[in-house]
Amino acid sequence: MKTIAAQPFDFTFDPAHLALIVIDMQRDFIEPGGFGATLGNDVSLLSAIVPTVGRLLETFRKAGLPVIHTRECHKPDLSDCPPAKRLRGKPSMRIGDPGTMGRILIAGEPGADIVPELAAKPGEIVLDKPGKGAFYATPLGDILAERGITHLVFAGVTTEVCVQTTMREANDRGFECLLAEDATESYFPEFKKAALDMIRAQGAIVGWTATVDQVAEALR
């Protein structure tokens, strides 16, 4: 067994049952001109964590541990994107509209892909998801069960939406979860802080948090 010096207390795990899930590090959310920018957000807040997420990825790769990447995207006919999602807010462009990187958040379009610096390596799983949580309408649960995974480390964007939603889904399914706090970000710094506080409140009610360096130290 190994231990990460985490908050609110140590996170103990067996590396044979540990996996990394990197949530939605996509061009449409992180690069100028993508969906995040059309919503009026400062995407530089998200792009700033790319090197840190990269270090976490390399830590898991060197340890020979499973890595799963998710991409939030939809079918070209938008049959998996309900109006309750597509019509939210007043962006300059909506999901499915033509953008600077192809149709926004549509599977197979350049903008829906993971940023090149964090692209999946051979053997790593890339999972397309139509919702905020990575378990909804995907085979993620089966993938983890087949590999005997019980403990998960999370990274990605945004902290309070897709990352926290997936952690809560995982917690409800019995997984022990840790969020790498410097490998996740929000367009709203105060939302990230609140999400981290909620995740580790009441004795890790949703999960633990730790830095990438703390995770790397435990996996050496």
Catalytic residues: 24, 129, 162
The Cα 99–Cα 29 span in angstroms is 12
The Cα 22–Cα 119 span in angstroms is 11
Contact 15, 52 (CB under 8 A): no
CA angle 45/47/48 to nearest 5° reads: 65
Burial 79-101 (b: 16+ CB within 10 A, else e): eebeeebeeeeebebbbbeebbb
Contact 195, 164 (CB under 8 A): yes
Q: Six-digit token pair at 64?
A: 């020979």
The Cα 63–Cα 42 span in angstroms is 34
The Cα 41–Cα 20 span in angstroms is 27
